[in-house]
Amino acid sequence: MTRVALYRVLVILAAVLLLELLCAIGVIDRITMQPPHLILRDLGRILISGKQNAAILKTMTNASIAFSLALLVGIATAAVLHGYRALRETLDPLFATYYAIPVFAFYPLLIVLFGLGDAPQIGIGFMLGVVAVIVNTLNGLDRVPRVLRKAALIERLGAAEVALKVALPYAAPYVLTGAKFAVAYTLIGIIGAEFIMSRGGMGYEISFAYNNFDNATMYPLIVLILAVSISINTALSWWEKRLLARRGL
Amino acid sequence: MSQASAHVSLRGVTKTFPSAAGGELHALGPVDLDLRRGEFLAVVGPSGCGKSTLLELIAGLSPPTAGTIEFEGRRIAGDIPDGIGVVFQEDACFPWLSVEANVAFGLRKSAIEPAAKTKRVREVIELMGLTDFAKSYPAQLSGGMRQRVCIARTLVKEPRLILLDEPFGALDQQTRLLMGDEVLKLWRQTGATVFLITHALDEAAMLADRIAVMSARPGRLIDAVETNWPRERDSRIVERPEFGVITARLWKSLREESLKTIGRAK
Ligand SMILES: Nc1ncnc2c1ncn2[C@@H]1O[C@H](COP(=O)(O)OP(=O)(O)OP(=O)(O)O)[C@@H](O)[C@H]1O
Ligand SMILES: [Mg+2]
């Protein structure tokens, strides 16, 4: 382990220990928060008992669907937009201000459109994630050196092949950057949606536990969401680094 | 020579680009030029005179503004004909592919079976002296090695017309001479027609059957020098007295044009 990595672990450990201490001496009371070791114990209990499995499964399934859609639609949209300059310039202001729009404000509208099932939640997750993929993929496509496109044309590749075999592979590290944002954003969208208006899912369970002062459920679920999001993010970062290292970057 | 019998034939070829100021930038022409089948033609000219533009027109990468280009009797109008290989002036390696995969990319559209493909890729990699780096990625290679990867990717297709845009620009003088020998050998073996752009007059004089000299922009052909070298030749011809005569003539044609390019015309 490098020295920096060691420092990072030490910082995290120190923060956890500090929480532990604040809980132990009563600065943080039990109604506000459990000490970290109890949160972990409760998380273990929840996972073993399986009583939250339905909620976890629902949230993770919806998040996966929203993320996959955001990724596929995002990449495809970027590839098409990159070829149509006028269209892209028209949409640029939308992308630039997109994350200033509170998507949740549209939640009632989505319910009207898609009903009360999982669809509006997936819709919000997708809407939050997709633009990060589009913007980052476009950024990558803009960087493809012209000579590489020419080299592909000389090998008699058609427009679609140039996009799939040259432009997108070149842009892959940038697409991954977008994917990392999309993981976080879709989770925010899905869980936020479950919070406001849903009869199930981790967001719903967290808010239900909160309303019932059930810290033994609330904090472990929060920790679980953090763990999932951070693990996926780390895996994507690792992949991204590998691709960049291959290019000497 | 009649237009029909030439391997490549250009008539009145002109190219203008929209300029940044909103007007037009006359980059090239009009150019009339015929390449004989199997000929080795070198093109020299001052920087920015339109050499790369000319190459891209012949390759079919962009259409001429005026004039016609024919390859093997068929008109090229912005579509890429089969049988042409290009080595670009800039580094055109695909950075996400290994050397091997980069070279194999040249055979994407060829009908030969996978085993034969692998063999041919390996042979060309060896020919370019890259065997130890077959599994490496372009970022791990030097500039000259990357250029060799691009040459390999072109040669593996066995094109009938090879267009080279300053392919040895990133190489040192010794390696450049030796690569020149390799190109001559390949040219003899394959019988391909070669169109080589270079800024090195000695390289043009050593490699080519004929050297076309271009004016400052807009590039026109202002001189054509036949070297009359035997087909069997290598870099040792630089020792011959005719070599000095040829380079001297090239420089005489180019000096004035080069001065114009750097803004010192009288
Ligand atoms: N795609 C383009 N759009 C606009 N102008 C261009 C384009 N390509 C080339 N030009 C212009 O055409 C002229 C000739 O360019 P070209 O690249 O053919 O020169 P060159 O002879 O290859 O120069 P060098 O020896 O430096 O490589 C230049 O003035 C250049 O700015
Ligand atoms: Mg050039």
Per-residue pLDDT reduced to its tens digit, B80-105: 888 899 999 989 999 999 999 999 99
pLDDT at B77 over 80: no
Contact A154 B85 (CB under 8 A): yes
- pLDDT for B264 equals 59
Q: Give me the residue from A148, A172, A249 closest to B92, CB to CB.
A: A148
**DSSP state, residue A186:** H
Query: What's the DSSP call for residue A144?
Result: S
Q: Which residues line ligand 1 (CB under 6 A)?
A: B 17, 25, 27, 45, 47-53, 89, 199, 217
- Is there a contact between B105 and A155 if contact means CB atoms under 8 Å apart? yes
Distance CA A157, CA A151 (A): 9
DSSP for A171-183 reads: HHHHHHHHHHHHH
Which amino acid, A152?
A
Between the CA of A218 and the centroid of ligand 1 the distance, in Å, is: 65
Chain A: residue nearest B85 by CA? A154
CB atoms within 10 A of CB B226: 10
Residue A235's pLDDT band (cuts 50, 70, 90): very high
Cα→Cα distances A66→A72, A182, A191, B227, Å: 10, 9, 12, 68
- Whole-angstrom Cα distance, residue A151 to residue B61? 10
Q: Per the confidence metrics, is the pTM higher than 0.95?
A: no
SS3 of chain B: the string is: CCCCCCCEEEEEEEEEEECCCCCEEEEEEEEEEEECCCCEEEEECCCCCCHHHHHHHHHCCCCCCEEEEEECCEEECCCCCCCEEEECCCCCCCCCCCHHHHHHHCCCCCCCCHHHHHHHHHHHHHHCCCHHHCCCCHHHCCHHHHHHHHHHHHHCCCCCEEEEECCCCCCCHHHHHHHHHHHHHHHHHHCCEEEEECCCHHHHHHHCCEEEEECCCCECEEEEEECCCCCCCCHHHHHCHHHHHHHHHHHHHHHHHHHHHCCCCC
CA distance A192 to A71: 20
Contact between B80 and A154 using a beta-carbon 8 Å cutoff: yes
B182-221 in b/e form (b: 16+ CB < 10 A) is: bbbebbeeeebbbbbbbebbbbbbbbbbbbbbbbbbbbbb
Chain A touched by B88 (CB under 8 Å): yes
B16, B53, B165, B214: which to mutate for ligand 1, most atoms within 8 A of CB?
A: B53
pLDDT tens for each residue of A127-137: 999 999 999 99
pLDDT greater than 70 at residue B265: no
CA dihedral B247, B155, A172, A91 (to 10 degrees): 70
User: Which ligand has the minimum distance to the alpha carbon of residue B199?
Assistant: 1
Q: How far apart are CA B141 and CA B128, in angstroms?
A: 13
Cβ-Cβ contacts under 8 Å, A172 against chain B: 96
Say yes or no: B34 contacts chain A, CB-CB below 8 A. no
pLDDT in tens, B115-144: 888 999 999 999 888 999 999 999 999 888
Cβ burial of A59 (10 Å; 0-12, 13-18, 19+) is buried
Task: Find, in chain A, the residue whose alpha carbon is nearest to that of B84.
Answer: A154
Ligand 1 atom closest to Cα of residue B53: 18
| C-beta separation of B44 from B199 below 8 A | yes
Ligand 2 centroid to residue B236 C-alpha, Å = 28
Taking the domains of chain A in order of start, what are their residue ranges? 54-246
- Interchain contact B251–A (C-beta under 8 A): no
| Sequential DSSP letters for A191-236 | HHHHHHS-SSSHHHHHHHHHHTT-HHHHHHHHHHHHHHHHHHHHHH
* Atom from ligand 1 closest to the CA of residue B46: 25
Look at residue B4 and tell me whether its pLDDT is greater than 70: no
At B190, give phi and psi (nearest 5°).
-90, -20
pLDDT digits (tens, 9 = 90+) for B172-202: 888 888 888 888 888 888 889 999 999 888 8
A156 and B106 within 8 Å at the Cβ level: the answer is no
Q: What is the DSSP string of A21-64?
A: HHHHTTSS-TTT---HHHHHHHHHHHHHHTTTHHHHHHHHHHHH
Q: Measured in angstroms, how far is the CA atom of residue B35 from the centroid of ligand 2? A: 20
pLDDT at residue A203 tops 80: yes
**If you measure from the C-alpha of residue B242 to the centroid of ligand 2, how many angstroms do you get, rounded to a whole number?**
28
More confident residue, A116 or A212: A212
pLDDT higher for B161 or B79?
A: B161
Nearest ligand for residue B88 CA: 2
Where does the pLDDT of residue B217 fall: very low under 50, low under 70, confident under 90, or very high at 90 and above? confident
Q: What ligand has the least distance to the C-alpha of B44?
A: 1
pLDDT score of B51 more than 70: yes
Q: What is the pLDDT of residues A155-175, one digit of tens each?
A: 989 888 999 999 999 999 999
d(CA B249, CA A82): 49
Q: What is the pLDDT averaged over residues A57-72? A: 94
Q: Are B12 and B81 in contact (CB under 8 A)?
A: no
Q: At residue B3, does pLDDT exceed 60?
A: no
Predicted pLDDT at B245 = 85
Residue B84, burial from CB neighbour count under 10 angstroms (0-12, 13-18, 19+): buried
DSSP-derived pairing of the beta strands B66-71 and B221-226 = unpaired
Are residues B221 and B30 in contact, defined by beta-carbon separation less than 8 angstroms?
Answer: no
User: Which chain B residue shows the shortest CA-CA distance from A242?
Assistant: B96
At B74, list the tokens.
């068929």
Chain B residues close to A164, C-beta within 8 Å: none
8 Å CB contact of B84 and A154: yes
Do the beta carbons of residue B147 and residue B168 sit within 8 Å?
yes
Cα end-to-end span (Å), chain A: 22
Bridge partners (DSSP) of residue B68 are B11
CATH topology assigned to domain A54-246: MetI-like fold (1.10.3720)
CA of B196 to the centre of ligand 2 (A): 11
Q: How far is B59 from chain A (nearest CA, A)?
A: 8
- Nearest by CB to A246, from B90, B105, B139: name it: B139
Whether the predicted interface score ipTM is above 0.90? no
Q: How far is the CA of A105 from the centre of ligand 2 (A)?
A: 55
Probe target for ligand 1 pocket from B24, B52, B88, with the most ligand atoms within 8 Å of CB: B52
Identify which of B35, B18, B27, B11 has the alpha carbon closest to the alpha carbon of residue B160. B35
pLDDT digits (tens, 9 = 90+) for A12-57: 999 999 999 999 898 888 888 889 999 999 999 999 998 888 999 9
Atom of ligand 1 nearest to the CA of B45: 21
